[in-house]
Amino acid sequence: MPEKVIVKNLYKVYGSHPARALDMLRAGQSKDHILAQTGMVVGVTDANFTVNEGEIFVLMGLSGSGKSTLIRLLNRLVEPSHGQILLGGQDIAAMSKKALIALRRKDLAMVFQSFALMPHLSVLQNTAFGLEVAGVDRKTRERRAMEVLDQVGLRSFAQQMPAALSGGMQQRVGLARALAVDPSLMLMDEAFSALDPLKRTEMQGLLLQLQREQQRTIVFVSHDLDEAFRIGDRIAIMEGGRIVQVGTPDEILRNPSDAYVRAFFKGVDVKKYLLAKDVARTDDTLVISPSADARADMAQAVAQLRQARRNYAFVVGQDARLHGAVSLDTLLRGLENGATSLDGLYLDGVEAVPASLSLHALVGRIVQQPMPLPVVDAQQRYIGAVTQTMLLQKMVDIDAEEAGHE
């Protein structure tokens, strides 16, 4: 997956002589020592990470860990003291103010915790505001604003004023305003934390729905484990201004990098956060990549299935999309009947499950499935398969790990 954002050796020091604090940091001094000696506050220390195109990358940490400072560094609402922030190859940290303003208008958008709506403007005008600032004519910007209001379920409220809306609806307007400029990168700082639990879950669901449709790159700050594990493709854990671990929810839960991360997730029920993509494997079920010679594909697949003592295989195209499932019996029948294509050999009733399916829902699906269950991403690309044995082994492994950490 292409890298959308690359952060290299990024630092932020608040104070009059940041270069002095940077020298002290490089000499091994702690941020507390620097504060005591110089009065300067270290916000972010030597951050290095990448954000892949089309993923939701979540920044997590306790209060004061630096996560809000870091996300503001990404669009220079906070000026970096040192380092690079590469967005599509452009270094945001080194941009002129003019270039930065142009980038914010066309390629970057931010959603805040406080909604930040303008009370004297209607929902439509708030949504179109970024486009107005960018110089888009009224007819065009209002048409675009109505499109995104429709996406977030607020089309009928376009002429209402923000004060007439609930908190959840106001945050939808904030999200719509960010989407209206069609940004390639969205920054969301505790965007749903001011909402009640029900509305927060609703907004998370809306974000995931929009993400499935639009595949934007999103950096999302959160302090809520349920939220981070529900929406995050990968998570970065921060402590004292440093990034201490980056990984998928499953990787971090099962392989914490140090005592801090282990304590951060102590008592968390790992199985609660496991998704189909965390269980799926590519090495247990045969994958057939169709060639121009379908009969040769069939014969080879039959030989491989017999050698591996397996009965089923998935057919996956050159674009990695799942075409369907075949069995040893259907392949043999195809060879006997002179079939010249795999299309007529697919098994009925084999439905792929999304990578984001929860473990609980996965169990419900797999107990009714005698064959491996294919798992696909939002673009219907095959990422692996799950069997009953595989799922059971995963759960046994997790229980054993948890017992070992007690």
Burial class (CB in 10 A: 0-12, 13-18, 19+), 339: middle
Mean pLDDT of 211-238: 89
pLDDT in tens, 84-102: 999 988 899 999 999 998 8
What lies within 8 Å, CB to CB, of 353 at 6+ separation is: 276, 362, 365, 373, 374, 375, 376, 386
pLDDT band at residue 401 under the 50/70/90 scheme:
low
**CATH architecture observed for domain 54-74+101-275:** 3-Layer(aba) Sandwich (3.40)
Task: Provide the 10 A C-beta neighbour count for residue 17.
Answer: 12
Q: Tell me which CATH homologous superfamily contains domain 279-394.
A: CBS-domain (3.10.580.10)
Selection from 163, 123, 161, 169 nearest residue 142 by Cα: 123
Phi/psi region, residue 9 (left: phi>0; alpha: psi -120 to 50; beta: rest), is left
- C-alpha to C-alpha distance for 138 and 104, rounded to whole angstroms: 20
- Above pLDDT 90, what percent of the chain? 40
Min mean pLDDT across 8-12, 224-228, 262-266 is at 262-266
pLDDT in tens, 21-45: 999 998 988 888 999 999 999 999 9
Two tokens at 194? Answer: 């001011």
pLDDT band at residue 402 under the 50/70/90 scheme:
low
pLDDT band at residue 403 under the 50/70/90 scheme:
low
Min mean pLDDT across 158-162, 280-284, 356-360, 398-402 is at 398-402
pLDDT of residue 404: 61
Ranges in the chain annotated CATH 3.40.50.300: 54-74+101-275
Please determine, for residue 405, whether its predicted confidence score (pLDDT) is greater than 60.
no
pLDDT of residue 14: 93
pLDDT band at residue 287 under the 50/70/90 scheme:
very high
* pTM (two decimals): 0.77
pLDDT of residue 368: 73
Crossing angle of helices 138-151 and 123-133, in 10° steps, is 130
Question: 254 by DSSP, 3-state: which?
Answer: helix
What lies within 8 Å, CB to CB, of 125 at 6+ separation is: 118
Ranges in the chain annotated CATH 3.10.580.10: 279-394
Question: 4 by DSSP, 3-state: which?
Answer: strand
Residue labelled with tokens 């007439």: 164
By the 8 A CB rule, do 13 and 41 touch? yes
pLDDT in tens, 140-184: 989 999 988 988 888 889 898 998 988 888 888 888 888 888 888
By the 8 A CB rule, do 88 and 184 touch? yes
